[in-house]
Amino acid sequence: MTLMDILDAAHESTQPSLVVLGSRGSIPVSGAKYTRFGGNTTSIAIEQDGLAATFIDAGTGINAYEEHGLVLSDQLSIFLTHYHWDHIQGLSMLGDMWGGDCIVEIWGSDDPKASLSGAIRPPWFPVSLAGQDNVFYRPIEGVVHRGSVQLTPFTVNHPGGALGYRIEGPGAVVLVVTDHEQVEGAVLKIPEGHVDVVIYDAQYLPSEMDGRRGWGHSSWKDATTFASEVDADRLILTSHDPGRSDDAIDAIVGAAQEMFPATEAARPGMRISL
């Protein structure tokens, strides 16, 4: 083994990455037409030093971490974009959270404790989240550091309010905008600094937008416009509509590539180096 090999190995062990666990919007789906882009709702892990300790959102994708080869840390930080069902439902079935040995911090806007303990309790779930003394709630107000990764929240346009996150690692900056309706003429204000990769809400087709104004989602076309505006290298479409088959998502990616060539669609297991 040469010195370069050793340095490369050391670099690999510390290079964090994002791992997409769920990229479906609104409700989980399953079946033959959803095999490639998956059926689980939004969750993205950040793997550092071989452990998944940090997550963006806890849709049903979070429960699939083992499927994608991730090992859960015993100290979790879960950063929520908002409290709609499709972003929190995986929390209720995250076994480690109920174990007691795992310390879980849940970060979100306003009052994460009130929002979550009102949702995860009888009669909607057999057990109450309130009273779990290993779970801590952190209203997010600014930049948070987790290992070599810096997370900066920003406000997006979604019913009831929601956040996007700018995630800066040692090697790349990724902007995560899972649920956002781009209103014509409005500017999405993002934290300063360059952006390498944009993960952006593309739930609707441009032709569907007129009937769905105010629902809080964008089209793939809005996503390409935004990626161009921020001069990103790569665009990843997410929050796929629950009715959208793998083939329909392929067609969306094809159309989006005409406007922004480096476009892909988020799928479970997709890994992005930070």
Question: Minimum CB separation from Zn ion for residue 88, in Å?
Answer: 10
Q: Which stretch binds Zn ion (CB under 5 A): 70-78, 127-135, 174-182, 241-249?
A: 174-182
| Cβ nearer to Zn ion, comparing 73 with 239 | 239
| Cβ nearer to Zn ion, comparing 24 with 84 | 84
Q: Does 201 interact with Zn ion (rule: CB under 5 A)?
A: no
Question: What is the H or E stretch that residue 151 is in?
Answer: strand 149-156
Q: Which stretch binds Zn ion (CB under 5 A): 43-51, 83-91, 201-209, 227-235?
A: 83-91
Helices 246-259 and 220-229 sit at what angle, rounded to 10 degrees? 40
| Residue nearest to Zn ion as judged by C-beta position | 84
Tokens of 74: 């015993």
Contacting residue, 24, 84, 240, 244, with Zn ion by CB under 5 A: 84
| C-beta of residue 168 within 8 angstroms of C-beta of residue 149 | yes
| Cis amide prior to 191 (ω within 30 degrees) | no
Q: Does 179 interact with Zn ion (rule: CB under 5 A)?
A: yes
Rg (CA), the chain: 18
| Cβ nearer to Zn ion, comparing 179 with 241 | 179
Mode of pairing for the β-strands spanning 149-156 and 144-146:
antiparallel
User: Tokens 């997709």 — which residue?
Assistant: 270
Question: Minimum CB separation from Zn ion for residue 240, in Å?
Answer: 14
Q: Which stretch binds Zn ion (CB under 5 A): 51-59, 71-79, 121-129, 175-183?
A: 175-183
CA 40/CA 33 separation, integer angstroms:
13
Tokens of 247: 């083939």
CA 244/CA 94 separation, integer angstroms:
27
Considering CB under 5 A, how many residues would be counted as binding Zn ion?
A: 2
Q: Which stretch binds Zn ion (CB under 5 A): 179-187, 188-196, 224-232, 241-249?
A: 179-187
Q: Which stretch binds Zn ion (CB under 5 A): 84-92, 97-105, 115-123, 125-133?
A: 84-92
Site string for Zn ion, 2-31 (x = CB under 5 A): ------------------------------
| Cβ nearer to Zn ion, comparing 63 with 239 | 239
Q: Does 240 interact with Zn ion (rule: CB under 5 A)?
A: no
User: Tokens 């810096």 — which residue?
Assistant: 150
Question: Minimum CB separation from Zn ion for residue 154, in Å?
Answer: 16
Q: Could you tell me the CA-to-CA distances from 209 to 161, 202, 203, 204, 214 in Å, in that order?
A: 20, 11, 10, 7, 9
Work out the burial of residue 133: count CB atoms within 10 Å of its CB; fewer than 13 is exposed, 13-18 middle, 19 or more buried.
exposed
| Cβ nearer to Zn ion, comparing 21 with 80 | 80
Q: Does 221 interact with Zn ion (rule: CB under 5 A)?
A: no
Contact residues: Zn ion, CB under 5 A: 84, 179
